[in-house]
């Protein structure tokens, strides 16, 4: 996107930095790096799950709400909503309840997707860690703001 439309990239980065500034005081992790803290308790998990739910993604156009990075969207954005298997328990489908409100288990299962069918994520994360030293999870605003 930086090469194809640098003005758009700059606008999104500006919105992302504003979002980071707004969210930093309550960030459940290290606001300097954007790395989320590991959830150790149910309370930590709830805090992480509820964090920033009322703040729009900085990639959304502020007037019409469409995603301005759709063509370049991260894996998280590609898999939010559709049912995917949990890494910890291959039997559990993780699904956005808002997307499947009232759906039967069979209907949800029929929509299951596989976000990393070629198993590339682990290798890419290892390369990222080797080149940057960064580890851990973050949220889109921190990624787009850097």
What is the pLDDT at residue 98?
57
**How many alpha carbons fall within 13 Å on the CB side of residue 101?**
2
Confidence band, pLDDT 50/70/90 cuts, at residue 90? low
pLDDT in tens, 10-19: 999 999 999 9
**45 to 4, 38, 95, 139: CA distances (angstroms):** 38, 9, 17, 15
| Contact (CB, 8 A) for 81 and 53 | no
The pTM is what?
A: 0.66
Q: How buried is 83 (Cβ within 10 angstroms: 0-12 exposed, 13-18 middle, 19+ buried)?
A: buried
pLDDT in tens, 23-76: 899 888 888 888 888 877 888 777 777 777 788 889 888 888 888 988 887 777
pLDDT, mean of residues 111-124 = 83
What is the pLDDT at residue 9?
93
Sequence-separated (6 or more) residues with CB below 8 Å from residue 36:
28, 29, 48, 136, 137, 138, 139
């Amino acid at each position: 996107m930086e090469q194809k439309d640098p003005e758009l990239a700059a606008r999104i980065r500006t919105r992302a930095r504003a979002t980071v500034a707004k969210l930093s005081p309550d960030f459940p992790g290290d606001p300097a790096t954007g790395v989320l803290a590991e959830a150790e308790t149910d309370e930590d998990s709830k805090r992480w799950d509820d964090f920033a739910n009322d703040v729009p993604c900085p990639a959304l156009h502020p007037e019409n709400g469409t995603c301005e990075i759709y063509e370049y969207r991260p894996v998280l954005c590609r898999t939010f909503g559709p049912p995917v298997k949990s890494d910890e328990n291959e039997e559990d489908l993780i699904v956005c309840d808002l997307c499947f409100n009232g759906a039967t288990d069979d209907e949800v299962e029929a929509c299951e997707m596989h976000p990393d069918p070629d198993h590339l994520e682990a290798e890419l994360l290892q390369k990222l860690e080797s080149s940057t030293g960064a580890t851990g999870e973050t949220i889109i605003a921190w990624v787009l703001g850097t």
